Amino acid sequence: MKNLTYLLLSLLFLNSCNKQETAKAETDTPDFEGKVEYRLKVIPNPGKNVDTLKLKKEFGEKTVLLIKQGAIKRINESEQMSLQLYLPKENRLYFTNKTEPGTLFYYRCDKTGNKDFTSKIVKNTVTIAGYSCDKLIYTDEFGQKIDYYFAPELKMDPKYTKDYTFLNKNKIAEIMKSVFLRQDFKTDEYTLVTEAVKVEKMKIDDKEFDKPKYEMIREK
């Protein structure tokens, strides 16, 4: 369960989008800077006996994402990866665990290469937090199935994650180019839904992306 928690929380960290505007529009439109608040819920698959209370404790029910020029900070209610921080210049994903205080962990985001995957875009599927969203249907070579819902206007330049091969982050960003507003991660037992309830375009202080000071820094 702990490894699955790490995987799902890492996937939730990914941003995605679809971009269909002209080259000029891509140049003129700034990247999204601001805050997104999400709610999480677990939906058991038909016929499956799932301990939803335990999963709520694992994943939490709320998360907040801060984004600025490719730097991403995520604050989770979960015990694992309660704080996540991606710094583009280092290409590292830093995180902390409430169960292991005093240690700052990190993933090298190019440690594992890209994996084969298939994808399909469905246009104008739903409105989330006031934004009309397209849908990306993603399946990788291990059978992981994820649906992303995204608003093209919440732009994120894929240059920030060009070397982020872990979990195909760079490939997803190349297809999408913006922040996801809903993610459905499908397992054999349940679907974990993360959906935005509030999107704020706002200036974020650079200090929000300072690495927290811990006695120990350790690679995962």
The pLDDT tens digits for 187-199 are 999 999 999 999 9
Two tokens at 73? 């900070």
Where do we find the tokens 């280092």?
Answer: 90
| b/e 126-141 (16+ beta carbons within 10 angstroms → b) | eebbebebbbbebbbe
Q: Rounded to an integer, what distance in angstroms lies between the CA atom of residue 111 and that of residue 101?
A: 25
CB distance 102 to 169 below 8 Å: no
Confidence of residue 16 (pLDDT cuts 50, 70, 90): very low
Average pLDDT, the chain: 88
In the predicted model, is pLDDT for residue 81 greater than 90?
yes
Give the per-residue pLDDT at 12.
Answer: 56
CB distance 138 to 122 below 8 Å: no
- Least-confidence region, from 20-29, 126-135, 195-204: 20-29
H helices present in the chain, as ranges: 2-13, 23-28, 52-59, 169-176
Confidence of residue 27 (pLDDT cuts 50, 70, 90): very low
In the predicted model, is pLDDT for residue 13 greater than 70?
no
Nearest in space to 9 (alpha carbons), one of 38, 46, 51: 38
Two tokens at 124? 């104008």
Q: Rounded to an integer, what distance in angstroms lies between the CA atom of residue 34 and that of residue 68?
A: 7
DSSP-derived letter for residue 34 is: E
Q: Which of 3-12, 17-26, 36-45, 143-152 reaches the highest mean pLDDT?
A: 36-45
Q: Please tell me which residue, 38 or 10, carries the higher pLDDT value.
A: 38
Give the per-residue pLDDT at 4.
Answer: 58
